[in-house]
Chains A and B, each alone.
Chain A
Amino acid sequence: MDTVVEKRPWLLVWQVALAAAVLLAWEWAAAFEVLDSFFFSRPSAIARRIAEWIGTGVLWVHVGTTFTEAVLAFAIGGSLGVLFGFALAGVPLLAALLEPYIRIANALPRVVLAPMFLLWFGLGIWSKVALGVTVVFFIVFFNTYRGVREVNGVIVDNARMLGASRAQLVRHVLVPSALTWIFSSLHISSGMTIVAVVVGEYLGASRGIGYVIAQAEGVFDTTGVFAGMVVLAAWVLAVGALIGRLERRLLRWKPEYEGARTGRLA
């Protein structure tokens, strides 16, 4: 990753060039009827469709819905994950007791839960939030648990000698230590939350990007499906960039993030 950062200006040019080449090839293939645009659509049509969605304002309704669901799922699942991670790391007996059940629950494919959640929580946003929570929870939970367990023992001892109470130990040592692990999981879990929420919408909803894609598929409107995918991809990228910035801010004490500051020494 480090070398990627160093070469960024040139790399960006090539990345854009690659995307442009693929899109152009796709467009031409559709124009010269190498690809059937009924099945494969074409970039210009997809762009027009997105512009149309933006123009009429429907895009914001769907993006807003999916966004709300994802943020709620992320917040609830993340908090629960951090809470359980700390609780189980702090009470080994509890961890030993619950371990097999957590593994079993995590092994379940989430998609099979979606219809149940629809039954339990209805067609509105909460069934999607629930599905998202089941995804985020486990990722954040496992990383928090590991982060707390793998905290440097000498640092803990030092803090205790300096007079740290249990609560202070959690706040000044365990949380910052686990944060590294939690953040490394945020990139994955943020993407997975969006996937889970969209899958939920796809299976039954009246709003959201997943719903849009499902509707388009229902009438073989490939342009609509691709347009939905593009919106989703753009959004996942934006969220990823946001988390990256937050990470650089909160983890600026780590050597890997040195680029964010001017390291004078060492």
Chain B
Amino acid sequence: MSPTPGRTALLLRDVVKRFGTHTAVDGVSLDVAAGTVVSIVGPSGCGKSTLLNIIAGLLAASGGRVDVFGEPLTGVNRRATYMFQQDALLPWKTVRGNIQFGLTLRGEHGPAATEKVEGWIERVGLKGCGDLYPYQLSGGMRKRVAMAQCWIVQPDVILMDEPFGALDVHTRLRMESEILELWAGSHTTVVFVTHELEEAIALSDEVFLLSAGPGSRLVGRYPIELPRPRHLIDIKAEAAFHQVYREIWSDLRQEVLKSYGHSR
């Protein structure tokens, strides 16, 4: 199943999304190479999440085309899992049950599945918490469960919609480091949506910039050529990081100012 690097994991051509008379996304085209991490950034309300939901197959595009590993996307994207901004754990399942959920849905039971689940509980640092319910966990721990839930089924693509937005800065940094570690040991393609440029640069191989909504389009793509493995704590102090940051920020700034103009 694992795709060979160099292939195109996701291909979007002139994707349009209209809600009634309101055009959220107006003709976005982009490619994501398999096995890379890309970020989609843009001012609030620019349709980043809409675009991600189209890639997930949860929203149908009003126009244009989405290909997943060369095949046109119809219905839910079966090769992707999704880490949501909001809490998406099943409150009636324990940590163990939640992490196992994807396997259960695929009919994987028995000792092999159990072993896998226990392995992931440990991997995301929740050893001894397997029998707890989501309401008994802190926000950071819930995100860890969600992370394991997404990765355990070994999807080709993982979509993330500002999954750590609600966490404090330090927890956030730790979670991002863990994501990078998980990613480094896999062939997974990661699409990350965020409004935090620093986060986007630090994690990604490429950053896509969307213009201010409504009717947002792709206004820039910036390859990030910082060496890997990256140490997120140190990376923000490096000169190369700042250079890329300044470059993208000068473009993003304009879009942010435009979005201020709209809301005024």
Contact = CB atoms under 8 A, between A and B. Distances in A.
A168 B88 contact: no
Given A162-B101, A266-B138, A173 B90 contact: yes
B169 interface: no
A163 B87 CA distance: 18
B135 A163 contact: no
Interface string A153-171: 0110111111111001000
A163 B153 contact: yes
B133 A161 contact: no
Nearest to A162: B102
A266 B137 contact: yes
Contacts of B149: 158, 162
A146 B137 CA distance: 28
Contacts of A154: 84, 86-88
- Candidate in A154, A158, A173 with the most chain B CB atoms within 10 angstroms: A158
Interface in A228-257: 252-255
Contact of B90 (A157, A163, A176, A265): A176
- Candidate in A161, A173, A254 with the most chain B CB atoms within 10 angstroms: A161
A174 B87 CA distance: 17
Contacts of A155: 88-91
Contacts of B19: none
A7 B82 CA distance: 45
A264 B137 CA distance: 9
Interface residues of B, number: 36
A165 B150 CA distance: 17
Contact of B105 (A164, A177, A264, A266): A164
Contacts of A162: 81, 101-102, 105, 149-150, 153
A176 B92 contact: yes
B88 A172 contact: no
A264 B82 CA distance: 29
Contacts of A173: 90
Contacts of B141: 265
Nearest to A263: B136
Nearest to A251: B92
B91 A254 contact: yes
Contact of A161 (B80, B87, B134, B138): B80
A253 B81 contact: no
B140 to A, nearest CB: 11
A265 B78 contact: no
Given A161-B58, A163-B153, A253 B135 contact: yes
- Candidate in A179, A255, A266 with the most chain B CB atoms within 10 angstroms: A266
B132 interface: yes
Contact of B84 (A158, A168, A255): A158
Given A161-B76, A162-B101, A176-B90, A266 B84 contact: no
B106 interface: yes
Contacts of A176: 90, 92
- Candidate in B84, B88, B138 with the most chain A CB atoms within 10 angstroms: B88
Interface of B: 56, 58, 76-78, 80-82, 84, 86-94, 101-102, 104-106, 129, 132-138, 141, 149-150, 153, 159
24 contacts: A154-B84, A154-B88, A157-B82, A157-B88, A158-B88, A158-B89, A159-B101, A161-B76, A163-B78, A163-B105, A165-B105, A168-B105, A172-B90, A172-B101, A172-B104, A173-B90, A177-B92, A179-B92, A253-B91, A253-B92, A253-B134, A255-B135, A264-B136, A265-B137
Complex A-B, nearest 5 residue pairs according to Cβ-Cβ distance, in ascending order? A158-B88, A162-B102, A161-B82, A176-B92, A253-B133
